[in-house]
């Protein structure tokens, strides 16, 4: 059954207030999962698009992947794809998951890169970090580390990772140009991007995206296909592909975003790019849909 959650707006919405609401929403999810961590995963609500098809959450991972993980990691899966399925991870590689949440993609990555590899998770929410660390301990994963931080300012050194993944989190950032620049910075030459995200049709304006769903619900902050490509090109990445995988709403798609960092890349390859982002307090951002009434997941609604 699909819920018709009423959107909540923040008067004079600005980037900081949106980030605070995102953090608060996902902290609530983490606390809920910790309280119900002994429940079987099929007791958790799955997130669905307008047709009732499941388009967010744990069902996007195959049964063998879910079976290999702690229940709490599966229950906390709120993404719009399965980035580890397309990242072509190899033994010995170093992986970074942006917005790692309960740790599902970090744990799957750690298993794929093996004991000679390493998987970092980055999240800004204390409750999600606590949940992820508990899940790593339960899983017996020793080649993982969860760090607190913002994806707009990644706390890792230049050229320090082989692969950057993310699952429906880049759309939650209020400064996506900064996120993509940081991705390019931390990748090693030849490094790869494998991101699952919500992407809008090019015909949809930012205002029309906001009409279709909230920022916290992964809709209002979605980039269009052309904007995503422009952002990746502006930070010097190459071999860019943005492949829609399933519909999540009218003119909105779950998509796999892939790119590579050229061996010749330097910081001077990063140039300014104008990507949509919330305006400052007192401007046109006022009334931007930010938070759904029941912030349990991304997407148009939740069904079970």
Q: Where are the domains of the chain?
A: 7-37+47-277
Neighbours of 20 (CB within 10 A): 13
pLDDT band, very low/low/confident/very high, at 243 (cuts 50, 70, 90): very high
160: helix, coil or strand?
coil
Contacts of 71 (CB under 8 A, 6+ apart): 37, 38, 39, 40, 41
Which residues does residue 180 pair with via DSSP β-bridges, in sequence order?
Answer: none
Query: Residue 254: is its pLDDT beyond 80?
Result: yes
Alpha-carbon dihedral 127, 133, 134, 138, rounded to 10 degrees: 160
**For residue 196, what are its two tokens?**
């699952």
The pLDDT of residue 242: 96
Which residues does residue 123 pair with via DSSP β-bridges, in sequence order?
Answer: 148
Contacts of 136 (CB under 8 A, 6+ apart): 103, 106, 107, 144, 146
Contacts of 295 (CB under 8 A, 6+ apart): 24, 25, 26, 28, 29, 216, 217
pLDDT band, very low/low/confident/very high, at 76 (cuts 50, 70, 90): very low
Please state the pTM of the whole predicted model: 0.79
Over residues 226-241, the mean pLDDT reads 97
Which of 14-28, 44-58, 276-290 is modeled with the greatest confidence? 14-28
Q: Which CATH number fits domain 7-37+47-277: 1.10.260.40, 3.30.300.30, 3.40.50.150, 3.30.70.141?
A: 3.40.50.150
């Amino acid at each position: 059954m699909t819920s018709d959650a009423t959107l909540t707006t923040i008067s004079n919405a600005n980037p900081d207030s949106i980030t605070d609401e995102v953090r608060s929403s996902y902290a609530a999810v983490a606390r809920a999962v910790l309280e119900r961590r002994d429940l079987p995963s099929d007791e958790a609500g799955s997130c669905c698009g307008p047709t009732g098809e499941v388009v967010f959450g744990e069902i996007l991972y195959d049964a063998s992947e879910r079976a290999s993980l702690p229940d709490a990691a599966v229950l906390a899966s709120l993404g719009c794809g399965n980035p580890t399925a397309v990242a072509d991870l190899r033994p010995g590689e170093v992986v970074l998951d942006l917005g790692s949440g309960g740790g599902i993609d970090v744990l799957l990555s750690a298993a794929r890169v093996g004991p000679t590899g390493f998987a970092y998770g980055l999240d800004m929410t204390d409750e999600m970090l606590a949940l992820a660390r508990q899940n790593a301990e339960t899983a017996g994963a020793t080649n993982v580390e969860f760090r607190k931080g913002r994806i707009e300012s990644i706390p890792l050194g230049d050229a320090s990772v082989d692969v950057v993944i993310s699952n429906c989190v880049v759309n939650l950032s209020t400064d996506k140009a900064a996120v993509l620049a940081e991705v390019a910075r931390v990748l090693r030459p030849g490094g790869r991007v494998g991101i699952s995200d919500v992407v809008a049709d090019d015909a949809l304006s930012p205002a029309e995206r906001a009409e279709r769903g909230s920022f916290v619900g992964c809709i209002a902050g979605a980039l269009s296909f052309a904007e995503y490509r422009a952002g990746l090109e502006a930070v010097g990445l190459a071999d860019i592909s943005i492949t829609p995988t399933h519909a999540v709403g009218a003119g909105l798609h779950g998509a796999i975003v892939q790119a590579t960092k050229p061996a010749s890349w330097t910081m001077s390859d990063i140039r300014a790019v104008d990507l949509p982002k919330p305006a400052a307090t007192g401007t046109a951002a006022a009334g931007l849909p930010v938070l759904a009434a029941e912030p349990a997941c991304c997407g148009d609604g939740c069904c079970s």
